[in-house]
Amino acid sequence: MPFELTILGSNSALPTSDRYPTAQVLKMPGRLFLIDCGEGTQIQLRRNKIGFSKIKHIFISHLHGDHYYGLIGLISTLNLLGLKTDIHIYSPSELKTLLQPQLDFIKGDMNVNLIFHPLNFKKPQQIYADKRVEVFSFPVKHSISTCGFLFREVKKQANIKKEMVLEYKIPIARIKEIKDGADYISPDGEVIKNEKLTTPPPHPRSYAFCTDTAFHLPIAEIIKDVDLLYHEATFLEAMRGFAEKTLHSTTIDAANMAKLANAKKLLIGHFSARYNDVELFEKEARTVFENTEAAREGKTYKA
C-alpha cells in the first residue's frame, strides 16, 4: 500500500527559477493529503500528474504567504472543474477571514464546500482520524503561530494463524479478541498464549512535517520514532545567528532533531533563495545525521 511524499515546493519565502514555495502531497492508503499550498502549487500538481479531484484534505501550517498564497487559485480551479465535493482545510482560524473576500468574487456558484478546522497552537491535538489514518497537529516555534503535522497509520490487528484456529477449534466469536491481543483458553482450561496464535501486524508507517520552526525540543517526543521526518533547514550553519533571529532552523538543527526523535530518515527543505546548491545542505546535515536528503521538487520519497 502506498505511503509516499511528493515534494511540490521546497523553497522558503522567495521562489527561484527551479524551486517553488512550500507544498507537498502525502499519499497514504486510500488518502491524499496536501500539506501547505504555496504559490504555484496547482502548476506543480499538474506537472506531477496528481489529480485535483483527489484532494479532500488540506493542511496549512501557518499564515506566512509562502505557505498559503496558492490556495485561492487552487480552490478557484477546483470550482471551475465543477467538482461538487467537501474540501476540509486544517489551518489557523484567521485563514477563512483572509480568503472570504476572494471567495465572494469567484464567478458563478461555489461547487466545492469548504470546511475549515481551526488548529490548536497550545498543545498537540488529533485533527483527523479514520480506520486507516490519524493526523495530529502540534505547536512549533516560529515568529507567528505555527503547527507541525504528524501523519500515522492506525495500528492494525495481529494476524491470526489459520492452522492454530483449526488445531484448537477456536470459535469465530473469539477471533477478534485474539487479534486484539488476548490469549485463548480452551474448553479444558489450557491457556494458549497470543504470540503462539498470531503473527505481528505490519509496522504502522508515519510522517512528520516540521516547518517553519526554530529548533524546539518538545517536538522530539511528539514525533518519536517517526519513519520520515521533513524538517526545515532554511540556512546553513554559518548563518546560525540569522536563523535564530528569524526563528528558523539550520541544517544542524534539523539533523539534531532527527537524531533526538530517532527518525529513520530526514528530509530537509524550506531553503533560503540565497542558496543555489542544496547538496551543501545534505553534506552539512549528514555530519550529524547520516540518513539525510535534501528535498527536491518532483521527487517522491517512501516511508
So which residues are the catalytic ones? 66
Q: How many CB atoms lie within 10 A of CB 106?
A: 15
Q: How many CB atoms lie within 10 A of CB 1?
A: 10
Residue 303's alpha-carbon distances to 2, 196, 229, 264, in angstroms, are 9, 30, 9, 9
Report the DSSP pairing between strands 4-9 and 23-28: antiparallel
Residue ranges of the alpha helices (H) in 37-171? 41-47, 71-80, 94-104, 162-168
What is the DSSP track for 68-88?
A: TTTHHHHHHHHHHTT---EEE
Write down how long the chain is.
303
CA-to-CA distance for 91 and 146, rounded, in angstroms? Answer: 9
